[in-house]
Amino acid sequence: IEMFKNNWKRVLWSDESVFQVFFGRNGRRVLRTKEEKDHPDCYQQQVQKPGSVMVWGCVSALGKGNLHFCEGTINAEKYIEILEHNMLPSRRHLFQGRPCIFQQDNAKPHSAHITKSWLRRKRLRVLDWPACSPDLSPIENVWRILKRPKTVEKLEACIRQEWDNIPIPKLEQLVSSVPRRLQTVIKRRGDDTQ
């Protein structure tokens, strides 16, 4: 810590984070007719998994680096590709040849032998990072900023954009399904059709 007294601005902080989109109702639903009310065999666990995306990013006191959307599980080989195509260009852009220190946590792909070997070959100084200490890295705060609810105006803009993106064939399909849904409601005597 003493050596970094005035050098924290020379650190390129990196991390991955998962962003999720939640859909509709999650949890327990009752699927039954009125005759089957409260019968235990009519309960079905129905959980809709949230959509999610893993994001890698890096920041420094000089600015933001690249943001990379990861596909699938991140192993050491994929992590090295992320570093090659995102961290190195970010480092060049932000530090412009000045010395810097790269920070990453101790996730398995980060601490794998091939990753450490790649970092040595690239002659990158890596900040020793204590295990189980995500709250020390400033990029954790950046992730919280991105995940925090936005203003009502931004929410309205997002809703307006999604509204504008609904295609006419989808509306036609929904309207065409009304007779079938009415029949289902009559058949179930008013119970939920979903």
Q: Give the model confidence (pLDDT) of 104-135 as tens digits.
A: 999 999 999 999 999 999 999 999 988 777 67
Q: Which amino acid is at 9?
A: K
Domains of the chain: 2-148 (3.30.420.10), 151-194 (no CATH)
CA torsion angle 18 141 5 124 (round to 10):
20
Contact 89, 52 (CB under 8 A): no
Give the CA diameter of the chain: 75
pLDDT for the residue numbered 37: 57
Q: Please say if the pLDDT value at position 26 is more than 50.
A: no
- Over the stretch 134-150, which tens digit does the pLDDT of each residue have? 678 899 999 888 887 66
Whole-prediction pTM? 0.69
| % of the chain exceeding 70 in pLDDT | 77
Q: Please say if the pLDDT value at position 21 is more than 60.
A: yes
Higher pLDDT, 125 or 49: 125
Higher pLDDT, 52 or 138: 138
- Over the stretch 56-103, which tens digit does the pLDDT of each residue have? 999 999 999 999 999 989 999 999 999 999 999 999 999 999 999 999
Q: What are the helix (H) ranges across 59-151? A: 76-82, 88-95, 108-111, 113-121, 138-147
Higher pLDDT, 108 or 40: 108
**What does the alpha-carbon distance between residue 43 and residue 32 come to, in Å, rounded to a whole number?**
8
Look at residue 29 and give its three-state secondary structure.
strand
Region at 4 (left for phi over 0; alpha for psi -120 to 50; beta for the rest): alpha
Q: Which residues contact 157 (CB under 8 A, 6 or more apart)?
A: none
Q: To the nearest whole number, what is the mean pLDDT of the chain? A: 83
Q: Which amino acid is at 66?
A: N
Higher pLDDT, 81 or 183: 81
What is the mean pLDDT of the segment spanning 9-27? 79
